[in-house]
A and B are shown apart, each in its own frame.
Chain A
Amino acid sequence: MVTYDVRVTIENKPGISDPEGDTILNDLVLKGTHKTVSKIRMAKMLKFTIKEKDKKTAQSKVQEICDELRIYNPMVSKVTIDVFES
């Protein structure tokens, strides 16, 4: 068994609006001098530490947990899962 760090990034799907990201962009970043920024998307990340036999199982196990416990709503969110050996 190997210990993996699994990072689950949850954000609104690309076509769906993101009021929080927009607010950070318009009311914070663009109010300063950072005019080169054109877009900010808000996301939340869960970091799992998990012991599994390989990278692929670690990923699928975390995916399974997130789906089963409704950590995100597939209707709204786009989910990216990255696995690192710790």
Chain B
Amino acid sequence: MSLEPQELSELKSKIGRDPTPTELQIVAAEWSEHCSYKSSKRHLKMLPMKGPLVITEKGYDSGVLDVGDGYVVTAHIESHNHPSAVEPYGGAATGVGGVIRDILSAGTRPIAIFDGLRFGDIEKDQQARWLFKNAVTGIADYGNCLGIPTIGGEVEFDQCYENYALVDVAAVGFGKKENLIKNHAKKGDVVVLMGGSTGRDGIGGSQFASDSLESEDRSAVQIPDPFIEKLIIEAILEARNANLIHAMKDLGGGGLSCAISETADALEIGIEMDVDKVLTRESDMHPDEIMVSESQERMLIVTSKTKFKKLQDICKKFRIGCSVIGNVKSDNQMHVKKGKKTFANLPTNVVANATLLDLPSKEPSYLKTIQKEKKLKKISDYSKIMMKLLSSPNIASKIWVYGQYDHEVGIRTVVKPGRDASVLRLDNGKFLSVKIDGNPKQCYINPREGAIGCFEEACRNVVCTGAKPIGMLDHLQFGNPKDPEIFWTFLESLRGLTDFAKDFEIPCVGGKVSLYNETPKGPIKPTPLIGVIGLIDKQPQIPQKISDDDCLIILGETKDELGGSEYYEYIHKFIGGNCPIVDFSESKKNMKSVLEIIPKKLLKSVHDCSKGGLAIAISELSLNNQIGCSVDLDKVPGKKLDVDRILFSESHSRYLLAFDKKNLVKIEKILKKNKTSFSIIGKFGGEKIQFVMGKNSIIDLRVDKAQKTWLNSLRDLVLHG
């Protein structure tokens, strides 16, 4: 835990003296990459953050969106990569806890959890299996105990995460606009720490997240306690209803150091605190340890002296700790004392604002050749390849994962996980649809187009439920930013996301940057993860059972875009090729058409084409409905392509519509009016998945056999290796 030499001299010149050891600890925590965003902040400003529905307030940890009728939705995304890589169960669980408290700190009740998980090759790597199994259990145990449904996410495996884990957690909250905490404080207010006690666990966590794993001391593990978190949620919501909270912040990375300095800086106040007043787990803790401890399940609250009594009564009722640790001053200083002795006294704007870096960037040399196609082995039996893909860890059903999560508690879940995006019922009669998506394989081949692709895929998924995208969350995960080539991929991804967000008028309402994600074998592939929040005014598209003779339409063109596809990487072990590129105008046209058709109740099921391409997307419809289908590949819209490209190309902006034959004329009319590229490519029925090209049979699979493979292979792999 230390500052770099030039940072130390900068600190000295800013405060005009040598810092005390405690001050050094506080500043080191707050100026770490994890807390200060010093490498990325300068650039993140390019993202559009304003929009008609976005509510901004100083000091919010989560994005707030107005969903009408006096209600708001809050959303936030966090990761817990480094802790999960060494202790997957506790790391993943405390990751959920942290993001939940961010939602809570705006004064809204958390109503859903989403998680994006990435690990090494679980087919070969026992460590990856261990990480995967325990991270999933950690999320399930924590979320299920809290009574908050985990309703979506994604899981991906790639060799680049060997001996490592990316655990991203997003959460959504819901509440009344009038109940939002309007962060404010005045001189004489008291600063209260509530929740669990402060111990030695997680000391130096935020520093640890900013160093690569090889050099850390691996001691920063945190133990989750979901039952205290549940009590904190209820106590805070009760205090909120009684109007007892002036300002609030959760304690995350950097512990008290960050919470105090950031609160004071955001509210332009000073805070004087006494470490003796902090409830500690052990009696011999040093002030430095208390200031940087990352013990979980704690919240910082600013309230008035008179309101504190009532707050104390509420905490007593819920049997959680609650103590006044300091006072609000008007001097903009962060003053840390132990009894009468001063240990740190720093201007809050110095602590909370590290000097932002302007790191050099350079296009990585590998990108010059990566898009070149390789001559691949000829495939003689596509049915066999399909079975192989259906059982591959990235494509196989994730039911083993979401089956462990309670996804219905809270009775808001209208569309359950396992489809494109889940849907939640809101109290004002509207519905909310949220999805998170990433695609490191494509981002590696083309950081800009790959990132845009993740964004569009998340949009597509919420559009499939009938929701209009109203906000996005971005989580940018990269390797060491001091490597100019890695920093270039970060900037390219960010620029791509910015262009898409501006063009589609989807504001960024929150995000996170996680850098220094390095494994012993080198940096991870660029892994931006995009969450999209969609709103449905009337009825969502609830999947209905597809039956015999129902028609299948595909919207959007299939292009020669196999780069980063599961087909190239899993079947041919080839990394490279043309990365799929989103055509903004085609994308908009298709989204508009789908959103126009859904409210007319003409469709039984809507599904997008993503991983595994058209062949997998159609099979998923068949497998979810236990019905066969026959598809003519000659009819697929787009330029003439080889069979493997039509089947497995992962081109964006494509939707599959399944519907009763009698609605065909009405659907065609809308699609033609919007000048969408579409085609009727097949129909459902029978017990086989059949793909033909003219008169040639390409794929012929029994639904029951394919379904068994698709549903069970991930579970079998995890449980039996």
Asked if B221 and A75 sit within 8 Å, CB to CB, the answer is yes
In the complex, what distance in Å separates the CA atom of A12 from the CA atom of B222?
11
In the complex, what distance in Å separates the CA atom of A23 from the CA atom of B231?
14
Asked if A18 and B223 sit within 8 Å, CB to CB, the answer is yes
Asked if B221 and A17 sit within 8 Å, CB to CB, the answer is no
In the complex, what distance in Å separates the CA atom of A12 from the CA atom of B223?
9
Asked if A75 and B223 sit within 8 Å, CB to CB, the answer is no
The minimal Cβ–Cβ distance linking B214 to chain A, given in whole angstroms, is: 15
Asked if B201 and A16 sit within 8 Å, CB to CB, the answer is yes
The minimal Cβ–Cβ distance linking A77 to chain B, given in whole angstroms, is: 10
Asked if A76 and B295 sit within 8 Å, CB to CB, the answer is no
Asked if B86 and A75 sit within 8 Å, CB to CB, the answer is yes
The minimal Cβ–Cβ distance linking B280 to chain A, given in whole angstroms, is: 11
Contact with A15, one of B86, B199, B225 (Cβ below 8 angstroms): B199
Q: How many residues of A contact B (CB 8 A)?
A: 11
Chain B residues with CB under 8 A of A75: 86-87, 218-219, 221
Chain A residues with CB under 8 A of B196: 17
Asked if A17 and B87 sit within 8 Å, CB to CB, the answer is no
Chain B residues with CB under 8 A of A76: 87, 90, 221, 223
Chain B residues with CB under 8 A of A12: 223
Flag A29-55 by CB within 8 Å of B: 1 or 0 each: 000000000000000000000000000
The minimal Cβ–Cβ distance linking A84 to chain B, given in whole angstroms, is: 31
Asked if A19 and B218 sit within 8 Å, CB to CB, the answer is no
- Pair count A-B, CB < 8 A: 37
Asked if B227 and A19 sit within 8 Å, CB to CB, the answer is yes
Chain B residues with CB under 8 A of A73: 87, 89
Could you tell me which residues of chain B, from 194 to 238, have a CB within 8 Å of some CB in chain A? 196-197, 199-201, 218-219, 221, 223-225, 227-228
The minimal Cβ–Cβ distance linking B410 to chain A, given in whole angstroms, is: 24
Flag A42-74 by CB within 8 Å of B: 1 or 0 each: 000000000000000000000000000010010
Kindly state whether residue B281 has any CB partner on chain A within 8 Å: yes
Kindly state whether residue B130 has any CB partner on chain A within 8 Å: yes
Kindly state whether residue B381 has any CB partner on chain A within 8 Å: no
Q: Chain A: which residue is nearest B218 at the CB level? A: A75
Q: Chain A: which residue is nearest B200 at the CB level? A: A15
The minimal Cβ–Cβ distance linking A42 to chain B, given in whole angstroms, is: 11
- Contact A16/B87 with A70-B130, A75-B218 known, Cβ cut-off 8 Å: no
Asked if A17 and B295 sit within 8 Å, CB to CB, the answer is yes
Asked if A17 and B282 sit within 8 Å, CB to CB, the answer is no
Chain A residues with CB under 8 A of B218: 75
The minimal Cβ–Cβ distance linking A49 to chain B, given in whole angstroms, is: 26
- Contact A19/B223 with A73-B87, A75-B87 known, Cβ cut-off 8 Å: yes
Could you tell me which residues of chain B, from 86 to 116, have a CB within 8 Å of some CB in chain A? 86-87, 89-90
In the complex, what distance in Å separates the CA atom of A22 from the CA atom of B282?
13
Could you tell me which residues of chain B, from 284 to 316, have a CB within 8 Å of some CB in chain A? 295
**Chain B residues at the A interface, C-beta cutoff of 8 Å:** 86-87, 89-90, 130, 196-197, 199-201, 218-219, 221, 223-225, 227-228, 281-282, 295
Known: A17-B295, A23-B227. 15 other contacts (CB 8 A): A15-B201, A15-B282, A16-B200, A16-B201, A17-B197, A18-B223, A19-B227, A73-B89, A75-B86, A75-B218, A75-B219, A75-B221, A76-B87, A76-B90, A76-B223
Sort A-B residue pairs by CB-CB distance and give the 3 closest, nearest first.
Answer: A19-B225, A15-B200, A17-B223
